[in-house]
Structure formats: C-alpha cells, structure tokens
Amino acid sequence: MHGNEARNARAACRFSSLLTLDSMPELVEQSKSLSTLDLNSLLETSKVLVASADIDQMLSHVLRTVMGKYVLSRAAISIIERQGQSERYTLAKYRGLISPPKQFENLSAFMDSNQFEQCVPLVSQTRRIGCLLLGKKITSVPYTDSELAFLESLAALTASALESAFTLQEMKQLNRNLDQTVQKLKTLFELTNSYTVGLSRDEILKIFSRSVSGQMLIRTYMVVMRGESGKPITELSLGIEVQNLSQGQQFQYELEKTFQSQTPTKVLNEDYPSLYLVGLRYIVPMRNNDKTIGVFLCDERLTKQPFSETDLDFISLAAAQAANALEQSRLFKETLEVQAMEKELQVAKEIQAALLPKTLPVISGIELAARNIPTKQVGGDYYDIMMLDEKHLFLGIADVTGKGTPAALLMANLQASIKAYMTAFNPETFDLSKVVGKINNIIYENTPADKFITFFCAVIDLQTRTMISVNAGHNPPYLLKQSGVLQTLTKGGVILGVISTLMPYEVETTVLESGDMLLLFTDGVTEAMNTHREEFGEERLVEILKAHCDKPASELIAQIIAETSRFQPEGEQHDDITLVCMKLS
C-alpha cells in the first residue's frame, strides 16, 4: 500500500507539472485518493486539453472519457452565459439526447426532463463556467466517492482549459475585429483619396456603393437620391429589379419615408413591406450638414452574419463621405459655372463699354460730361454723345427695363439702331420724329411684350444753338437757364417697344443761351432708396443742381453720384445710374 501511495504521489507531481493552471494544488491533493488508472486517465485528458485550442474537441474528449469510463447512456456539458444580472445555460456538447433545447434557464428542470443524475460544476479560479451533466450508469450502480473525486478533478481540469480556450478565442476575435477595423479605416482612407472634385455624381455613387458592398459582403443594395422635383429617385441598384417597383405608390411612399432616418435603421416588414419584400434590411442615411441628401439601402451579408454596431458605423461614415463628396462636387460645378458666367459677363462688360462713347466731343463754348454706373457687370442704361457733322451734336439717353444681361442685350439693339440712323444724318432731310418712330418699330418687333425702353434724344445746331428733342417716356431732362428758371423737356410720345408707331412723336424745339445747363439722367438717380425705403426723388436732385450749377459739368455729376451714394445703404445700388451734363458758356 505504501508503494501505491508513492506511485500516486509521483504521478500527481508529474500531472501537476504538465499544467499551468491555478487549480493544480487542489488537484494534487485530490489525486492522493485516486487510483493509478484514474491518474493516468486524468493525465491523458490533461494532455488533450492543454494541447488543443478547439473547444469542441475538448468537450468531445471529456464526454467520451466519462461515458466510456462509467458506461453511461447520456452525458452533456452546458456553458453559463451571462446577460446583465441574469444567467442561462447553453448546451455546448451532449451525447445520448434526442433534440434537447439549445438553451435553458432552469438547470434542475433540464436535468429531470433528460434523466441526468449527477451535476459536476465546472469552476475555474475566477468564475463558474458551466457544469458536466451525467446520466445513470447502465449498471445502475451509484457513483462512489473516488469516482466523484475523479469527476471533480476532471471538471477542474476542463474548467481551467475552457477558460484558457475562451480567453484565446476572445483574443482571436479581438484580433479579427482589429483587423476588420484597420481594413475599414483603410477603405475609408482610400475613399477619401478617391473622391476628387472633378468626379461626377454617378462616379461618386459607384465608388461608394462598390466599396461598401465589397467590404461588407453585400449582394443587394440601392442608392436613392432626391431628384430635381424633390421626389426620391433610385440612382444605383444591385440585385433588385427596380423598374418593376418604381411605379408603385407604396414603393415610392416607403422610399420617401426612408429619408426621415437620421441614423442606421432596420427595415421591418411592418414598416417597409415593399422594401422588405425585395430583400432590403437596412437603411443608412447619407447626411451632409445635418441634412439627409440620400439613402443607402442594403440586405444582410452573404454570410448572414448580422451587422455589428461598428459595421453600421463604418457604412454611416462611408455614406457621410459620399454625401460630402457629392456636395463638394456640386459646389465645384457651380463654381466653374459661375466662373464661366463671370468670364462671359466680363467680355459682355467690355463689349458694352465699347458701345458707350470712349471720348466726348470737344466743342468751343460747350462743356460735356457723362457717367454710367451699372448695378451689375453689365446694365440696361445707355447714353451717347456724338457729332453728326461739323455743325450738329447728338445727345441721347435711355433706360431699358430690368438689369443685367437681358437689359444689356436690348440696350445694344437700341444703340445699333441709333447709330444706323444717325450716321446717315442729312440736315436738309433729317426728321427726328420719323427716326424715333422707326426705332420704336424696330424695338417693338424684336423684343418680348414685357420689355421696353424709355428714351430721350436731342440734336443741337451749334451755330444757331437751337435744340430739337423727343422724349419717349423718359425722365424729363432738366434745363436750368442762366436766369435760374428750371425747364423740363417732356414732349415726345410713347415708350419704345410698347406698341408700334401709330402717331408721330412730337418734337420739342428749345433755344439755348450762354449759361444754360442741360442735365439728362436715368431713374437710378431719383429712385435710389435709403434704409427706410424712401426714394432720393427729383426735389433732392434739383436742389443739388441749383446748389452746384456754377461747378464744371464733371464735378456736378460727381456731386450727384456722391449724394445718392450717401443716401443709399453702404454697398447697395438700387438701379443703373447714368448722367449726361452739358453747359454752355
């Protein structure tokens, strides 16, 4: 007997040297009451448990060991799973049972219903892992103390090995998750580099959807964006016959509803029956500046593994990147369009500037000045001062409805008509009334009904200082006489372009004298507004005219512009401003 105890002690020492588990001291103590056969069995089991990282293989070996050793008809190993404060058991491995439940909460009830006689806890140094469940022996002989001691030793070995295996399994899963996270970050980085401002909307959406579907192993998806009408439009799809669905009202309603999602959302059958029917399971909004501009809809992975929270975060980040790229592309396109338009407007500005007089005639005894300030790069105001021959001077001013390019085009049409008639000037046959009537017909026949021109023109005989003029609905020019009397030139007819010339325009004849001053202006001066929406008005203009009538023509114009600028809010100009001044000495 003494020899057996020595052998048992040596075996126990050898057994403990094979394992690096915290429970070994207790096992060594228990081994003193075990037979050599039991110790050998534990030794072989320890080798398998230590050598294997496969949990299924471990559990299978343990069940084979106990069922073979004690001739059992059934045995099982259950693992404890904790969810908050509650616990439940998962049946990890079993033998001799027919369709048992995979999970259960009441251990005693499970043992009774499946005829288990013994429950040996699987306890490591840190926690309860589960239990080893044993049925009755086929021989119906009860378990002896030494058999229970063996089972407890085996359970301790199994618990420690399982804890190590679980830890290793968790580490491997953490490594896999880390690898996936690195890969996701790499994909996001590559997406960032792929999105350039020159890409089209379609190219951006293709890069986004292909990258996400490839990374997440998605086989079915849709990318939905807002159309110009505001309705959702399917831009891209894979694995779905969208043509068969797009006409359905229910389908369109559900697409519209997806834009209400601000975070990734599950597609439930009760909420999105049409989307659910075609296999879509997730809604991921494409958001930019807290606004959903599109939606990415997809099914589950090919592996059927549910998306984790980090997976959905990845898709959301990729969707946000795509939304930002779309916005940047849109802004870049708009910038190019604005730049192209500004370039065209600059050319138009140069062309329009060329239509206005570059220099004013130099005439003995007459001082001339003019100024044109458009509200935009091009405007609808027009003026002209030109010598018709050695003895006759032409003055003209006009204001086209509207501002900007349309007004500038109509102004160019007027300028061409005036130039055509005035270059054919013959003092013996010239009839200003007929000329204005013909110009009116040209404007009427070649412009829309909502476009018209106010116009004033005059021809001055420099020898007799006699002026003939026609006012076609323009702000009446002021003639300030040397005597201080203020006259307005109003005779003429209808605004150009409203109706064809049915009645001749009336011509007004005025005799000019030394000291007289003539001021032509557009309504950009008198209709300038302050912050209280009050107009500058004609009274203020007349006051300036009388107060500064002794100044040169150019200084008088500069004074008027300065006063209107002070009257209006800083940096604002209500309308195009044009002024023409003539002073006689």
Q: What is the 3-state secondary structure (H, E, C) of 196-258?
A: CCCCCHHHHHHHHHHHHHHHHCECCEEEEEECCCCCEEEEEEECCCHHHCCCCHHHHHHHHHH
Q: Same domain for 271 and 141?
A: no
Sign of CA dihedral 227, 229, 230, 233: negative
183 lies in some domain? no
For the chain, how many structural domains are there in total? 3
180 lies in some domain? no
Q: Same domain for 96 and 208?
A: no
190 lies in some domain? no
**What is the edge-to-edge ordering of all strands in the sheet holding 75-83?**
103-104, 86-95, 75-83, 128-135, 116-123
338 lies in some domain? no
Distance of CA 268 to the CA centre of its chain: 27
Distance CA 61, CA 506 (A): 120
Burial class (CB in 10 A: 0-12, 13-18, 19+), 170: exposed
Average pLDDT over residues 443-472: 92
Q: Same domain for 557 and 412?
A: yes
Q: Same domain for 89 and 30?
A: yes
Rg (CA), the chain: 49
* pLDDT attached to residue 216: 85
Average pLDDT over residues 281-298: 91
- 3-state DSSP call for residue 89? strand
Task: Return the CATH number at 273.
Answer: 3.30.450.40
310 lies in some domain? yes
- Domain boundary, last residue among 128, 149, 168: 168
Q: What token pair was written down for 558?
A: 């500069």
pLDDT of residue 177 exceeding 90: no
- 3-state DSSP call for residue 67? helix
212 lies in some domain? yes
Average pLDDT over residues 64-86: 87
Helices (H) and strands (E) in the chain, counts: 15, 21
Task: Return the CATH number at 517.
Answer: 3.60.40.10
**What percent of the chain clears pLDDT 70, i.e. is strictly above it?**
85
Dump pLDDT digits (tens) for 518-569. 999 999 999 999 988 899 999 999 999 999 999 999 999 999 999 999 999 8
Q: Same domain for 139 and 267?
A: no
186 lies in some domain? no
Dump pLDDT digits (tens) for 427-439. 999 999 999 999 9
176 lies in some domain? no
* pLDDT attached to residue 27: 46
Q: Same domain for 322 and 369?
A: no
Q: What is the 3-state secondary structure (H, E, C) of 357-374?
A: CCCCCCECCEEEEEEEEC
Q: Same domain for 327 and 424?
A: no
Q: Same domain for 393 and 541?
A: yes
Q: Same domain for 427 and 557?
A: yes
**pTM (two decimals):** 0.53
Q: Same domain for 126 and 227?
A: no
* pLDDT attached to residue 102: 92
Q: Same domain for 539 and 478?
A: yes
Phi and psi angles of residue 38, each rounded to the nearest 5 degrees, phi first:
-65, -40
Q: Same domain for 508 and 577?
A: yes
Q: What token pair was written down for 288?
A: 């930019």
Query: Which range marks the domain in which residue 21 is found?
Result: 2-168
Determine contact, residues 477/520, Cβ cutoff 8 Å. yes
